[in-house]
Structure 1
Amino acid sequence: MAKRPMCLLCFLMVLSLGALELMGIPLISGNPLPLNVQEQIEAHPGSIICGEVEQYENTEFSQSVYLKKTYLIHQSKKFPIENVRIFLKKEEDLKPGMRILVKGTLKRVEGPANPGGFDSQQYYACRHIYYFMKNAVLQKKTAVYSGYRQLLLEIKESCRQILKEAAGKDAPVFCAMTLGDKQELDPETQMRYQLAGIIHILAISGLHISILGMGLYNLLKKMGLGIWPAGIFSLGVMLQYGIMTGGSVSTMRAVTMFLIAMGARITGRIYDMMSALSVTAMMILVESPAYLLDSGFLLSFGCVLGMGLAAEKICALAGAEKKWTKALVSPIALQLVTLPVMLKFFGEVSIAGFILNLLVLPSVGVVLTGGMAALLLGILSIPAAKLVILPARVLLLFYEYLCSLAGRSGWSTWIGGEPETWQILVYYGFLITVLFMGQYIKEQLRKKKAVCEETELAEERAEAGCRKLYAIRITAGIFLAVGILILGYHPAGSLKVICLDVGQGDGILVETPEDHHFLIDGGSSSQSEPGRYCLLPALKSQGISWLDGIFISHTDQDHINGVKELLEYMGKGLTTIRAGYLILPAWAERPDAWRELAEAAKTAGVKVMTAGKGDELPCGKVSFSVLWPEKNATGKDVNEEAMVMELSFGDFQMLFTGDIGADTEKKLLAVGGLEDVDCLKVGHHGSRYSTTEAFLEKIKPEVAIISCSLTNTYGHPSPETVERLKEAGSQVEYTMKNGAITVETDGKKLKIGRFRKD
């Protein structure tokens, strides 16, 4: 670092930010607003705020507006609260730069509620947004606005319309690649590209900026402009392009490094990638330190580190000296640097991406150039735009074919799970050691010609040197393998039951000591796409690629719609997670939802079986006993004839009661078989009509877990039910308050974990 002072300065800055965080100064995570401001907001959430419109977008249910330079107004006093995202009840005619006065309910941006969940709190903290305002009503607005920013929005909208006409169904992909606009991008397309490891081509990145920026610069040079005019014009255009496309962290990084590179070219200075990267990182972190924990920041900078710092050393270790071998090995270096980041935030890494990127990256420039050419020609002629974008659309078909191949294979991703901090540190320790080995080999290869003199002694030394280098390479390979194994290591030996926070619904994940995995229900009536946004991330974060069984208590949508999504993803090849069995209640009359679920399972290659009272499902040291429904149950009342199960492991018992009510509880008490349990998954989300006093007197649960939404309209959990649980001596846990609740036991001792600590 002595030769690169900017790198040293950046390293010290990162250490300083970490030290301040440990000292209780929340610059990286948390809410850095003054405590008196936070208290004022909490005390008066319905107060009026005033701010400047930065950008806006129309959603399906409301108009979303980002305000900057915002302050809270209360009793003629102003409290600065930085930026706020508001959701207007009705669409308003707004323009960037307008100052508006709005009234609504301020609510702190929440963090994730489940393992693997998206961290909205950290994402918005990077943008200095710590509060949302829901149900906002516009009170006043100024007539003055920013003509320049409005012009950029109008240009972007015109470009979007041109691409829609020129590219047809492929327009959303071209909008994402050229405009940074993913609003209309099909979620399944995103999932396919992510599974194939080529999702990065859909974001504005260094590759895009270098192709467009350097392409423009070289074009201007060929047109006769000198270095200075061509360089300055290219700089200006790319800067505006970065602003217009939304200013994501990857875009900011790419544009800033392009500006530095172009500045070096104009002034005749030498461009150093690592120094430019360090300067860019410091500029971004000074403006918003929270980016230090942002996945986009870490991946964007990690990719450049992989190319600029690790690639050469990994190539030396692999003996990749020729250009084509370096092209094969360099992407591996990039993956090795970003591997812990991918697992930490997504729980999986695309193995297919190692191969597919070799096929895709050389042609991305054609797709991007085709999209940009269509934008320019579309101003004059849409038919000409359709013609020029055609080769790019053919390449997109090729990409989709590659994605479908990856989706159909079971090996396209490694679901390694979310590693602990110590695992990440150990892995990077191994990787840094390997890079030092690569640097040593690189230096030895430089000296090879000097050593290889035509003497017998020199030949012996050269042979001994080759053996030494070979040993170093073998050792480096072992270090990398051990590092990766440590990164994916998940200790077993205990039983874990994770009651996920799915809002108004149920979703329970069971992990046995022998590393078998089961899902009990999975649905929500208050959250959209619970399969995609809750079940999949939770499974990936736990490193689960195989579910031994999926139990369905009954077929209400708040118990099954997420499971149905999951099965459909399996059937369409949108995930490499697979399942062995779908276990449904043994009903004589099977409602449409039951049959649809069974059909989705068969399409996904999952076997369907039924279970009723008396069935035992052993799995190693853990067993599931089905207590209800009766084998001759009609299935007409899906709640009262829901599947009731008892899980046993050593001295530990847990009861899962679905949505049964008092009637079924009486029947269970009458037929016998119930006994004391350590943990109860409370029936029907804490409804007043279930979990009766007599039922609790029989099972005497030490811990009771209630899964429901904080804003549900059913009054769940009922105060009467909660009171009955407390009187029975139960420790009551709520997903709506603490997020996912984890019950962990070795068969004797019981430990409760809350995902949200506050």
Structure 2
Amino acid sequence: MTSQLWVCSALLFAAGIALAQKGLLFFLILPLLLLLGIKELFPRCLLIIVFLLGGLYSYLLIPEIPSLKSVNQFTVEGKVCSPVQVEDNKTTFLLRSDTGEKQLKKIRVICYFPVQLSPGDTVRLRASLKPIPVAGNPGAFNYREYMAFQGVYYNCTVKKSTQLELLAPGRGPSAYLARIRSNSEKAIEEALSSEEAAVLQAMLFGKRQELSEEQYDDFQKLGIVHLFAVSGLHAGFLLLLLAWLGRLLGWSPALQFWVGTFSLLAYGTMVGWPVSMMRAALMGVLGLLAYYTGRENQLITALAIAGFTVLLVRPAALFTAGFQLSFAATWGLVYLYPRIRERFPDPGRWLDLILLPLCAELAVLPIILYHFYLISPVSIISNILVSYLACFAVIMGFIALFVSQFLPGLAAFFLYPAGFSIELILSLVEGLKKIPGAYYYPGDPGLLPIVYFLALVCFLLWLNKRLPRQALWAAGALSLVFVLGLLLPFQWENRGKIELTVIDVGQGDAILIKSPQGRLILIDGGGSSFYDVADSTLIPYLRYRGISKIDYLINTHPDIDHLQGLERVAGEIHCGSLLVPASLAEDDVYQTIRQAAPHMSVLPVKKGDRLRFADGMTLEIIYAGGPETAFKSWNDHSLLIRLEFKHFSALLTGDLEMDALRSVKKTDYHPCTLVKVPHHGSRGSLLPELYQETRPLYAAISAGYNNQFGHPHPEVLDFLEEMDINIVRTDQDGAISFISDGNHLQVFRTLSSGR
């Protein structure tokens, strides 16, 4: 009864938090089901109280995200309170400030230069503050909410090293552990290649910034990205090493318990206490306590206690993918696996080899689908092949971590085998990702995770021998609905209607067009010199939509904020053809995208060229630069495109500036439904005749939130308002979708209430 009470308490406490924060009545189903299984009055009343306390607790501890304004001149002192991440010429960390304002207690600091700092260091900053922006595309990771749950509301941008001053180095246990980690990282970087060192540091410390985006993406596609989450794998091997050392040195059970507990606390502090490590440490301590006191180690009870404790410390963690994946995977191993194993009396090891990763995958599948829109059929194979190699690398890494503090030269003796193991892992990853159907992005799952959850409940009823025949049939039927839902293609959405979406890619352009019969065209892809726009905005949006093939890529001109994202898309998604201005088709600037997709045809286009689709949609090139603009900026070569479908039409202007726009004949400016405002709404591209001739209903501006160029310019906005044109802006509205059957128009803004 005690175990059942702990499990029910943890689940009901979590349900109370979810109901209070999200307001979904679905979270009432779980409490009702659990309470029906409790017969005694006292436990039932106790669980009702726990459920209500969960809601009240989250209401008190999880604040609403306030509306904040930027601060241009800001000076603050505080202590570094997180591991410091250095990537190329960029350093990021969290600062616990001395200011009394609640929203400024913790600040995310971004330095555009490398700086050597450690947790506990006291620094002074003189920089600007900007609120962390809300995600502008549907399906995008809500980084603003994620950071707000940690009490962080502002980004502090430090551009010059003179704006940061170290006042005092850190002292105490945190600073000492940071030095241990730093010594270990230095030993790893000296002994291994840069690629091997990046993977091993990600495995040991969760340090992912040294991994390339493509490499991290490959591990995620194959269902083995959990190797970079410091969790039970690391805690388990750390305790095994200490147990072996304790037996070797003849430690008493009490000493082994305290050494193990202290080591878990030290390691958790060293890696910054991610949720997965909190769970692993709590379960590890409970396991040690049970082992050394001779009690039975009830894993499901330990998991429930760990979950309850984590939610007491961080109630907002419930809504993070890390919490959900960590506890779901562990539940699959400690609860689901034993019950499925009971159905197969043969004790063969080969069955365990398959069932263990299978049970973990069954548990996390709906969570991965919900957060990442990903299905990875090859994950079971990849986990079987890779996990043991990763375990060996982690064990060698732990030994090297200890040795490097006293004999740095000897650490390489253990790191070389770890590096060899990582090379094998990388080779396997490279081979596995090429298997047809290894991974699949079905898009926004909608209610499919709930369907899967119900199928899993029915399956558990069958496992527990309750309603055996009916439950199994129900599980099968629900699973069939789930699979059919995954296979439903994106092109079936809004069938018979044209869809044009101005994607929010910050200070850049990216426009996705879907024809009435489902043909896809992507015009430009955004880009930036400061961060990877494609990986942070464009690719996640395409995955959210379940897009696995694009018929045409069109690059209006090769500025970085238009071309860079297309390079990433061409290497990630099958693309039929790339259309570029004929005047620039042979320029070296297109070499990267040609190499990214060598089988994609590159087609130069000129004025008058058309794409005609069977459903009646046409794309016509109105302007494409030419010899007379050869010595001007690439903006002057930008394609001017007219899109038409029945009574819906759009004029897409790229970054054309005044002279180029004037060179277009007025007869080519037809009345249209939508104009994409040229060059992000800059003053230099404001040509009144453009709008007077086209008379659009809507003007769409693609610009970055709080961008440094001041786009869109106030004069442009004033003119559009005087013309009585509806203005939509990605910097305020996020992604904007125009959907039309050729007669009627629907407009959807992702951020209906603005930023």
TM-score bracket for the superposition, by shorter chain length = 0.7 to 0.9
Alpha-carbon shift at residue 392 of structure 1 (Å): 2.6
Tell me whether 543-552 or 2-11 shows the greater mean CA deviation.
2-11
Distance 1:524 1:164, change over 3 A: closer
**Amino acid in the other structure paired with 1:548:** D
Distance 1:255 1:695, change over 3 A: same
Q: Deviations over 1:691-726 (max 9, x none)?
A: 522221222111111112244454422222222322
Match among 611, 622, 629 for residue 617 of structure 1: 611
Whether the 8 Å CA contact 2:132–2:144 is kept in 1: the answer is yes
2:184, 2:70 → 1: CA distance?
45
Match among 496, 499, 506 for residue 496 of structure 1: 499
In structure 2, the residue corresponding to 1:115 is in which secondary structure? coil
**Amino acid in the other structure paired with 1:640:** D
1:95, 1:383 → 2: CA distance?
24
**TM-score computed with the length of structure 2 as normaliser:** 0.85
Alpha-carbon shift at residue 433 of structure 1 (Å): 1.9
1:309, 1:424 → 2: CA distance?
20
Partner residue of 1:464? none
> Aligned runs of 1:170-249 on 2, under 5 Å?
170-249=196-275
Does residue 66 (structure 1) correspond to residue 63 (structure 2)? The answer is no
Match among 58, 74, 80 for residue 53 of structure 1: 80
Partner residue of 1:254? 280
Partner residue of 2:18? 18
Match among 452, 458, 462 for residue 437 of structure 1: 462
In structure 1, the residue corresponding to 2:192 is in which secondary structure? helix
Does residue 118 (structure 1) correspond to residue 145 (structure 2)? The answer is no
2:627, 2:168 → 1: CA distance?
67
Whether the 8 Å CA contact 2:73–2:126 is kept in 1: the answer is yes
Distance 1:30 1:481, change over 3 A: farther
Partner residue of 2:582? 586
Does residue 677 (structure 1) correspond to residue 680 (structure 2)? The answer is no
Match among 377, 387, 406 for residue 361 of structure 1: 387
In structure 2, the residue corresponding to 1:197 is in which secondary structure? coil
Match among 541, 555, 558 for residue 555 of structure 1: 558
Does residue 5 (structure 1) correspond to residue 5 (structure 2)? The answer is yes
Alpha-carbon shift at residue 551 of structure 1 (Å): 0.9
Match among 306, 309, 316 for residue 290 of structure 1: 316
The answer for unaligned runs of 5 or more in structure 1 is 445-467
2:59, 2:525 → 1: CA distance?
31
> Aligned runs of 1:320-469 on 2, under 5 Å?
322-379=348-405, 381=407, 384-420=410-446, 422-440=447-465
Distance 1:687 1:43, change over 3 A: closer
> Aligned runs of 1:485-634 on 2, under 5 Å?
485-486=484-485, 489=488, 492=493, 493=495, 494-525=497-528, 527-567=530-570, 570=571, 575=572, 577-587=573-583, 590-594=586-590, 596=591, 599-600=594-595, 602-603=597-598, 605-621=599-615, 623-629=617-623
Distance 1:126 1:99, change over 3 A: same
**Amino acid in the other structure paired with 2:643:** L
Does residue 303 (structure 1) correspond to residue 329 (structure 2)? The answer is yes
Tell me whether 54-63 or 555-564 shows the greater mean CA deviation.
54-63
Match among 685, 694, 702 for residue 690 of structure 1: 685
Does residue 153 (structure 1) correspond to residue 148 (structure 2)? The answer is no
Alpha-carbon shift at residue 154 of structure 1 (Å): 0.9
Distance 1:559 1:81, change over 3 A: closer
Alpha-carbon shift at residue 564 of structure 1 (Å): 1.9
Alpha-carbon shift at residue 676 of structure 1 (Å): 2.2
Match among 698, 710, 716 for residue 711 of structure 2: 716
Does residue 750 (structure 1) correspond to residue 753 (structure 2)? The answer is no
Whether the 8 Å CA contact 1:340–1:487 is kept in 2: the answer is no
1:276, 1:315 → 2: CA distance?
21
Whether the 8 Å CA contact 2:686–2:716 is kept in 1: the answer is yes
Tell me whether 608-617 or 488-497 shows the greater mean CA deviation.
488-497
Whether the 8 Å CA contact 2:506–2:705 is kept in 1: the answer is yes
Distance 1:716 1:150, change over 3 A: same
Match among 693, 697, 700 for residue 702 of structure 1: 697
Distance 1:92 1:404, change over 3 A: closer
**Amino acid in the other structure paired with 2:246:** L
Partner residue of 1:456? none
Tell me whether 57-66 or 735-744 shows the greater mean CA deviation.
57-66
Alpha-carbon shift at residue 481 of structure 1 (Å): 3.0
Distance 1:426 1:649, change over 3 A: farther
Partner residue of 1:480? 479
The answer for unaligned runs of 5 or more in structure 2 is 25-54
Alpha-carbon shift at residue 198 of structure 1 (Å): 1.8
Whether the 8 Å CA contact 2:103–2:152 is kept in 1: the answer is no
2:741, 2:299 → 1: CA distance?
52
1:689, 1:659 → 2: CA distance?
10
**Amino acid in the other structure paired with 2:519:** H
Whether the 8 Å CA contact 2:213–2:535 is kept in 1: the answer is no
**Amino acid in the other structure paired with 1:625:** L
Alpha-carbon shift at residue 746 of structure 1 (Å): 3.4
**Amino acid in the other structure paired with 1:438:** L
Alpha-carbon shift at residue 615 of structure 1 (Å): 2.7
Alpha-carbon shift at residue 728 of structure 1 (Å): 2.7
Whether the 8 Å CA contact 2:618–2:645 is kept in 1: the answer is no
**Amino acid in the other structure paired with 1:687:** S
Q: Deviations over 1:651-676 (max 9, x none)?
A: 32222111223444344434x35432
Match among 238, 242, 265 for residue 291 of structure 2: 265
Whether the 8 Å CA contact 2:521–2:554 is kept in 1: the answer is yes
Alpha-carbon shift at residue 649 of structure 1 (Å): 3.1
Q: Deviations over 1:529-574 (max 9, x none)?
A: 222222221111111111111111122222101212333xx2xxxx
Alpha-carbon shift at residue 414 of structure 1 (Å): 0.9
Q: Deviations over 1:113-160 (max 9, x none)?
A: 223433222332342222233349879987595322211111111111
Whether the 8 Å CA contact 1:427–1:484 is kept in 2: the answer is no
Tell me whether 473-482 or 201-210 shows the greater mean CA deviation.
473-482
In structure 1, the residue corresponding to 2:712 is in which secondary structure? coil
In structure 2, the residue corresponding to 1:181 is in which secondary structure? coil
- Number of matched residues? 713
Alpha-carbon shift at residue 423 of structure 1 (Å): 3.1
**Amino acid in the other structure paired with 1:4:** Q
> Aligned runs of 1:84-163 on 2, under 5 Å?
84-87=107-110, 96-97=119-120, 102-135=125-158, 145-163=170-188
2:480, 2:686 → 1: CA distance?
51
Alpha-carbon shift at residue 281 of structure 1 (Å): 1.6
1:354, 1:281 → 2: CA distance?
26
Alpha-carbon shift at residue 91 of structure 1 (Å): 8.1
Partner residue of 1:460? none
2:85, 2:428 → 1: CA distance?
34
Tell me whether 46-55 or 218-227 shows the greater mean CA deviation.
46-55
Does residue 655 (structure 1) correspond to residue 651 (structure 2)? The answer is yes
2:177, 2:298 → 1: CA distance?
32
Distance 1:30 1:721, change over 3 A: farther
